[in-house]
Amino acid sequence: VSLMKSQPSDINYYTASYTAPSNIAFIKYWGKKDRQIPLNASLSMTLNACHSFVSLKALPAKDEIKKIFDFQFENLPNTKFETRFENYLQSIQDILPWLSDYQFEIRTHNTFPHSTGIASSASAFAALAMGLADLDAKITGTEFSFNKASKLARLGSGSACRSLYPGMVIWGENIKMKASNEFALPVPIIHPLFENLCDSVLIVDNEEKSVKSSVGHSLMHGHLFKEVRLFQAQENFNHLFDAIIQGDLEYFGEIIELEALTLHALMMTSTPSYMLMRPNTILLIEKIKDYRQTSKLPVYFTLDAGPNIHLIYPAQYTEVIKSWIDAELLAYCQKGMVIHDSMGSGAKRAEH
Ligand code: DP6
């Protein structure tokens, strides 16, 4: 934040600009209740390459109704994103009461390669929430609170609350670590084997995804497998947490693949049902399993709520894995698209 004038009585406006990365979940958040409270604890890795930038300028409100008076995404007006941000700002006024006195100019853009089908809501809401928490501290004269920023991010998009922090991040009450359903926290110590994981995203289909995650989460209500899924999520969380601390890469791989396939199995068996894997998703999964068996390399896959494959492996194998991707996998990716990403360091203040 740059406080334009230091005397509160003279303050005309405040600004805050942040960038935040995307994240990939290893234990999936799938199903929520109340106000963005997850049904199970999740665990993710913060990424590095794919970022959103959000810059806020808060001015004293003239028009009480609209919170955003000027919005640009990638230097152009964008009604879809503006409406989502506007609704979000309206929905969090109980948490940031000063919001009713301000209106915003918002500029936002992504560093994502164009048309990859990669969702940007986690990175966008993480960056927006960091900006709001920063303004909150300045306007109310309090300390910046990461917990508050993460909570604000969660209210925009659940998985966004994890994107603030570096490395491995958890969100949700669990027996392994003192944690909360309200905000995320970084895993304090991880085994060196997990300190520099890579994520090469194989773009199988770059179309917009056919199920919105909010719709996906609601499918868990009344799902025949709900209780057994919640039990499994808890077990997987505990085992993955231990594997990350102890350095058990093989067990880690087994669990993240099970989580990815479970997420898709839940969608395939809900009413209505969704099939988000494409034929090439399955083909690539088979190739990954074969290659792992023959090469003995620790390379595993996970999936989001979409057809693209996230290939997870330690950085020391980058060269050999990249050559394998180029030689064997690119042919099954849309227009040969792959994004090489890796563990990142979370949200950062940016130049306005
Ligand atoms: C499959 O965070 O996008 O990526 O809270 O409705 O915005 P909303 O959902 P969102 O759901 C993410 C689901 C997931 C798994 C995960 O990231 O944990």
* Ligand 1 atom nearest 119 alpha carbon: 3
- Predicted confidence (pLDDT) per residue in 47-67, tens digit: 999 899 999 999 999 876 789
d(CA 334, CA 331): 8
Higher pLDDT, 294 or 63: 294
* Ligand 1 atom nearest 159 alpha carbon: 2
Please say if the pLDDT value at position 272 is more than 60: yes
For residue 206, the model assigns a pLDDT of 85
Which of 35, 211, 213, 264 to probe ligand 1 with, by most ligand atoms within 8 A of CB? 213
Nearest CA owner, ligand 1 atom 12: 159
How many angstroms is it from 110 CA to the middle of ligand 1? 18
Please say if the pLDDT value at position 233 is more than 50: yes
- Which SS3 state, helix, strand or coil, does residue 30 take? coil
Q: Which residues line ligand 1 (CB under 6 A)?
A: 25, 28-30, 36, 42, 121, 157-159, 213-214, 217, 263, 304-305
Q: What is the pTM of this model?
A: 0.95
How many angstroms is it from 330 CA to the middle of ligand 1? 27
Query: Three-state SS across 149-167?
Result: HHHHHHHHCHHHHHCCCCC
Higher pLDDT, 301 or 215: 301
Q: Which residue has the tokens 């056919």?
A: 210
Q: How many residues does the chain have?
A: 352
Percent of the chain scoring above 90 in pLDDT = 88
How many angstroms is it from 65 CA to the middle of ligand 1? 29
CA dihedral of residues 23, 179, 305, 92 (deg, nearest 10): -90
Percent of the chain scoring above 70 in pLDDT = 95
Higher pLDDT, 87 or 211: 87
How many angstroms is it from 319 CA to the middle of ligand 1? 31
- Which SS3 state, helix, strand or coil, does residue 183 take? coil
* Ligand 1 atom nearest 157 alpha carbon: 7
* Ligand 1 atom nearest 305 alpha carbon: 1
Buried b (16+ CB within 10 A) or exposed e, 230-263: eeebbebbbbbbebbbeebbeebbbbbbbbbebb
How many angstroms is it from 305 CA to the middle of ligand 1? 8
Please say if the pLDDT value at position 5 is more than 60: no
For residue 211, the model assigns a pLDDT of 80
Please say if the pLDDT value at position 86 is more than 90: yes
How many angstroms is it from 78 CA to the middle of ligand 1? 23
